[in-house]
Amino acid sequence: MSPTSDPAAPDIRVVADASFIASHRLTEWVSSAPTMEEDVAIANIALDLLGQARGLFGVLGDEDQLAYFRDASDWHNPVICELPNGDFGHTMLRQLFLDVWLSQVWPALADSDDETVRGVAEKAIKENAYHLRHSSAWVVRLGDGTDESHQRMLAALDELWPHSEAFASDAWYAAISQLLTDATLPPPPPRTRFDGERGNDAQHPWLPELLDHMQSLARAHPGATW
Amino acid sequence: MQLWEVFVRARAGLHHQHVGSLHAVDAEMALENARDVFTRRGEAASIWVVPSAQIVASDPDDAGELFEPAMDKVYRHPTFYEVPDGVANL
Amino acid sequence: MDLADGFDARVAAEDKVEPKDWMPEAYRKTLVRQISQHAHSEIIGMQPEGNWLTRAPSLRRKAILLAKVQDEAGHGLYLYAAAETLGTSRDEMVDQLLAGTAKYSSIFNYPTPTWADIGAIGWLVDGAAIMNQVPLCRCSYGPYARAMKRICKEESFHQRQGFDILVTLCRGTAEQKAMAQDALDRWWWPSLMMFGPNDDASPNSAQSMKWRIKRFSNDDLRQRFVDATVPQAHFLGLQIPDDDLRYDETTGHWQFGEIDWDEFRRVLSGHGPMNAERLAHRRRAHDDGEWVIAGAEAHAAKRARRTTAA
């Protein structure tokens, strides 16, 4: 079982980078969400994920060094996190995949020998429970909504599924299949582990462009304080 | 999309207070939106959401008959009564 | 006493007006216009800052800015809700914004080319907004006053974080300090314009003041803002871009130069640098969101049918 997909022994570098990049993609939605209420909701999730990433970055080193001065090849996030945003349904489905994975990962980290990691995990468990409510409710609404929303969710599932194996474990698959069924979306068969990309040592096709933008100001003034 | 009224209880022991309204398609969304919009600064122990159409409100035009008669029934207020000296626990 | 006189007397006595109370049509219309413009401004205002959210140069700044922009969405929400109590739906107000027939604060039609602009917006634009908003906490219309109280509580963090950004820049590298000065050079005059035309060019003010929808005059508030802000610029070590700025010992106020009212009118009428982009962004968000809302409504309807059928 790859380190990424074994929720019982999560690599905190992977969890930190996954949360950080996921937060960044959500941040791109702010001021463009379908409703004002959803702008507030998405910002809340992005803030929580950013906080979780910062908590783990603190264990790994200097948070700004890690965020702004690492090149793409040094990041450990699953590729699914860095995919450019699709439509709102695509974003909610991707978020659901991440939320289910984190709901299995954080309890394991709450058992960590490291006190700081334990602290981050305990807080994250509650935040994650709320995020999971939000993403699962949206996937169900849109999967089982109008014909158009259903079609869009099928398209999102098609695009995201091949990238999901970074999260895939039996527990993850069981939870996701149930949620997809509730959303009237047919759960695809589980990917065999190690097909195609593997999250933490795969290439990062979309990360260079993301980092190029995100790191641009910090890198333009190395050593500066903000 | 429906309009919902939001009531928040700041902590146990207090009443729920009306804090505003928002839009949502169902009760679950209304509750979560209310949580996100109205409780970011730790202002809530409990939230109620009610579809605005379900609120029954008194008509301001009836304020005279509804509220003014109570104004002159001062015998409902404890201070109207003089307690004789020497009487305790009253 | 007729209804209108009774209303005027109530307002003069600092009584609050609540949603179902009788009110003059002109009062209702002015309020809907004022509150909805304010709401539109909050929502549009998310854009100039959102531009830097994804490039914020430290994680702390990123988190703070995200919380601020989130607050602005919330503020828009409180204000649309307050306006809705007057009988106009949120959809109607949003449609007017998207059609380009509604106004919003023209300050948001300026671009944000540098990170220092984020600091300047917090310090100057939110600072000016606070000047305007604190008196509105006592305005005559209950729902608007209550929304303003909530907003004011949240807004002071907005101004402080902006000032904090600039303090750090001004204590930083030469490039950072130059960035801060450049931002001040571009945001100073538009911030002064936020208070609106001079009093003698402001025909609606008198009625709004009588109805306690407006508590202080434009020039009054603008002067207060200048007096509060000039010392802050001095603290930062920055130059205010006004050669006529000087302290008047007799009045205790900072005198300042003439505002370029042509620029004000141009930007207000839709010809500012970012007007088209701000509205286009909102239209895209609105159009992209339609299928989502339709899906959510369809799902809610299905669930309701299933519940009653069960």
| Chains in contact with B via at least 3 Cβ–Cβ pairs below 8 Å | A, C
In a domain, A2, yes or no: no
Q: How confident is the model at residue A7 (pLDDT cuts 50, 70, 90)?
A: low
> Above 90 in pLDDT, residue C237?
yes
Q: Which of B28, B36, B37 sits opposite A137 (nearest CB)?
A: B28
Identify the band that residue A198 occupies on the pLDDT scale cut at 50, 70 and 90. Answer: very low
Residue A63 lies inside a defined structural domain of this protein: yes
Q: Is residue B53 part of a domain?
A: yes
Q: Which domain holds residue B41?
A: 2-58
- Binding-face residues of A in 38-67 toward B, CB within 8 A: 40-41, 44
> Which tens digits make up the pLDDT trace of B40-86?
888 888 999 999 989 888 877 777 777 766 666 656 665 666 777 88
Query: Which residue is closest to C170 within chain A, CA to CA?
Result: A226
Span of A125-129, A145-149, B21-25, C196-200 with lowest mean pLDDT: C196-200
Indicate yes or no: CB of A41 within 8 angstroms of CB of B32. yes
The size of the A-C interface in CB pairs under 8 A is 143
pLDDT for the residue numbered C265: 84
Closest residue, chain C, to A152 (C-alpha): C291
Q: Which residues of C68-80 are buried (b: 16+ CB within 10 A; e: fewer)?
A: bbbbbbbbbbbbb
Residue A1 pLDDT > 80: no
Whether A156 is in a domain gets the answer yes
Cβ–Cβ under 8 Å, residues C175 and A221? yes
Number of domains in chain A: 1
Q: What is the dihedral of CA B35, C20, C87, C195, to 10 degrees?
A: -80
Q: What is the pLDDT of residues C150-195, one digit of tens each?
A: 999 988 899 999 999 999 999 999 999 999 999 999 999 999 999 9
CA distances from A127 to A49, B38, C96 (A): 9, 17, 37
Tell me, yes or no, if C118 comes closer than 8 A to chain A by beta carbon. no
Residue A189 is given by DSSP the state P
C296–B25 C-beta distance less than 8 A: yes
- Taking the C-alpha atoms of residue B25 and residue C304, their distance in angstroms, rounded to an integer, is 11
Give the pLDDT confidence of A33-83 residue by residue, as tens digits: 999 999 999 999 999 999 999 999 999 999 999 999 999 999 999 999 999
Would you say residue A5 lies in a domain?
no
Q: Is residue B39 part of a domain?
A: yes
Side chain identity, residue B67: F
Full domain range(s) for residue A138 = 12-220
- Tell me whether residue A48 is in a domain: yes
- Chain A: partners with 3+ C-beta pairs within 8 Å: B, C
Count of domains observed in chain B: 1
- In angstroms, the CA C7 to CA C30 distance is 15
Among candidates C168, C288, C302 on the partner chain, residue whose Cβ is nearest the Cβ of A225: C168
Closest CB from A37, A137, A141 relative to B23: A37
Contact A221 C165 (CB under 8 A): no
CB contact under 8 A, A50 and C66: yes
Q: How far apart are CA C72 and CA C140, in angstroms?
A: 24
Residue from the list B24, B28, B37 with its beta carbon closest to the beta carbon of A40: B37
Please check whether residue B40 touches A, CB under 8 A.
yes
Q: Note whether residue A176 is domain-resident.
A: yes
Tens digits of residue pLDDT in C240-249: 999 999 999 9
Best of A21, A23, A29, A31 to mutate (most C CBs within 10 Å, chain C): A31
Query: Distance between CA atoms of C72 and B7, rounded to whole angstroms?
Result: 21
3-state DSSP call for residue C248? Answer: strand
Does residue A35 sit at the B interface (CB-CB below 8 Å)? yes
* Residue A9, min C-alpha distance to chain B (Å): 32
Q: Which residues of B touch A134 (CB under 8 A)?
A: 32
Q: Are A15 and A56 in contact (CB under 8 A)?
A: yes
* CATH at A156: 1.20.1260.10
pTM of the model: 0.92
Q: Does some domain include residue B83?
A: no
Q: Which CATH number fits the domain that encloses residue B34?
A: 3.10.20.520
B22: contact with A, CB 8 A cutoff: yes
B:4-23 residues touching chain C, CB 8 A cutoff: 19-23
Shortest distance, CA B47 to any CA of chain A (angstroms) = 15
Return mean pLDDT, chain C.
Answer: 93
Residue A195 pLDDT? 46
A168 is a domain residue:
yes
A151 pLDDT higher than 70: yes
Q: Point out the residue among C71, C84, C297 whose CB comes nearest to the CB of B3.
A: C84
Residue A32 has pLDDT above 90, yes or no: yes
- Residue B20 inside a domain? The answer is yes
- Domain annotation covers residue A4: no
